[in-house]
Amino acid sequence: MTRVGPRVVLGVSGGIAAYKACELLRRFSESGHDVTVVPTRAALEFVGTATWAALSGKPVSAEVWDSVHEVPHVRIGQSADLVVVAPATADVLAKAAHGIADDLLTNTLLTARCPVVFAPAMHTEMWEHTATQENVATLRRRGVLVIEPAEGRLTGADTGKGRFPEPDEIFELCLDVLARQGSGTMLDLAGRHVVVSAGGTREYLDPVRFLGNRSSGLQGYALARVAAARGAEVTLVAANTTLPDPAGVKVVPVVTTGELRDAVVSAAAGADAVVMAAAPADYRPATRAATKMKKADDGSAPVVHLEQTTDVLAEISHDRGRPDAVIVGFAAETGDDTGSVLDHARAKLARKGCDLLVVNDVSGGKVFGEAHNEAVILDSDGGAHEVPRATKSALAHVIWDHVVTRLETS
């Protein structure tokens, strides 16, 4: 017997981003999920039933009056493991907030007992309208995950907040939600603001040359995505990464350690937690040439004077915007004659003054750019928790588990 994958209901409401939901549907279907598409009538103005039926392999209807003998208005919601409404218009958010049930999708939302995710997409004015914001707040209060729309190009020439996140990123977020389904603590970061830094900073010698490092940003992006899937408002300070913006996350791009410091300090002011997964350069050239440095004719090499950059982790740990905030550092360590990896890490935790330190053993160039990671999480109370080799998402979940425990006991 073939195993039936998780049952996903893909609700599609009537916005132009409906065409992007086809890609989301493909990602779910190709990865073994059993997807039932429930469009609204308005969604069918953008993408017709033939497309949804062909991509999902199932009949598709917006109405409660088709196949009535199967009682679809009750059965589809009851048997779902996840309902994701993408795109979600202001109209469907309003109906869901008020319990209106005038088509198959809104009926399904009333019968679903599984996690429900809304990925709103609309014009900025509609998103910012008090009516929409109050409806979103109502849904969130009830334990529904309404992700923040992205900022950027909207339909036509407009730009602003309201853009549909990348379908791949909504898919990844949904996988995180499905993985935690039934854990009883689905949205344990709801109402929290968290800040994550990711990537490696660049310190310029001249307009084209810089000192940099090998950080890919993958772990920081996984932390940001997972926090959004657990309900947090997330600010991701991203240094020189080439990764797509995680769904529901506010991304602040930076280049240098100075810019990263300013962005992190400003976002950390009211944050419940800050996770410094970035690799900021420890040194920068003391001067930066305004024009490209020329090679000397006599074969001599320039001497580059370096100066230390700010240690952002130490600064935000010692000078806390909120005394009860949880601050997490990372340490890429190698053991040597003077001590083991953990000896050096304990000393670093004390020196930096953070609450948790995630320690990676990077002897031999491990970790950089890899999909998996293993770590030890040290805490300032003397505890050490080993995390066996796991995906960066799984490690991110363990890190947030530790943060949540500290937040709940602080």
Angle at 343 between CA 355 and CA 261, to 5 degrees: 40
- CB–CB of 175/146 below 8 Å? no
| The token pair that represents 71 in the structure block | 């009682």
256 touches ligand CTP (CB under 6 A) = no
* CB-nearer residue toward ligand CTP: 175 or 345: 345
311 touches ligand CTP (CB under 6 A) = yes
Which member of 313, 359, 377, 396 binds ligand CTP (CB under 6 A)? 313
Q: How far apart are CA 206 and CA 240, in angstroms?
A: 17
Q: How far apart are CA 79 and CA 234, in angstroms?
A: 31
- CB–CB of 273/326 below 8 Å? yes
82 touches ligand CTP (CB under 6 A) = no
Residue linked to tokens 């500290």: 406
Give the interface segment with ligand CTP, choosing from 27-35, 159-167, 326-334, 360-368 (CB under 6 A): 326-334
Task: Please name the residue ranges forming H helices in 90-143.
Answer: 90-98, 104-111, 124-128, 130-141
Question: Least separation, in Å, of the C-beta of 276 and ligand CTP?
Answer: 4
Give the interface segment with ligand CTP, choosing from 34-42, 50-58, 102-110, 275-283 (CB under 6 A): 275-283
219 touches ligand CTP (CB under 6 A) = no
Alpha carbon distance, N-terminus to C-terminus of the chain:
50
* CB-nearer residue toward ligand CTP: 37 or 237: 237
Q: Sign of dihedral through CA atoms 250, 113, 168, 185?
A: positive
312 touches ligand CTP (CB under 6 A) = yes
| The token pair that represents 409 in the structure block | 């006991």
Radius of gyration, alpha carbons of the chain: 24
Task: Please name the residue ranges forming H helices in 180-243.
Answer: 218-229
282 touches ligand CTP (CB under 6 A) = yes
- Count of residues interacting with ligand CTP (CB under 6 A): 14
**Amino acid at site 331:** A
92 touches ligand CTP (CB under 6 A) = no
**Amino acid at site 356:** L
Q: How far apart are CA 378 and CA 347, in angstroms?
A: 11
* CB-nearer residue toward ligand CTP: 153 or 214: 214
Give the interface segment with ligand CTP, choosing from 123-131, 243-251, 309-317, 335-343 (CB under 6 A): 309-317
Give the interface segment with ligand CTP, choosing from 153-161, 245-253, 292-300, 305-313 (CB under 6 A): 305-313
* Catalytic pick among 107, 135, 213, 240: 213
- CB–CB of 79/6 below 8 Å? no
359 touches ligand CTP (CB under 6 A) = no
Give the interface segment with ligand CTP, choosing from 44-52, 78-86, 290-298, 329-337 (CB under 6 A): 329-337
Q: What does DSSP assign to residue 213?
A: -
* CB-nearer residue toward ligand CTP: 89 or 257: 257
Residue 213 catalytic?
Answer: yes
Question: Least separation, in Å, of the C-beta of 290 and ligand CTP?
Answer: 25
Residues in the site for ligand CTP, rule: CB under 6 A? 257, 276, 278, 280, 282, 309, 311-313, 329-332, 348
Active site residues: 213
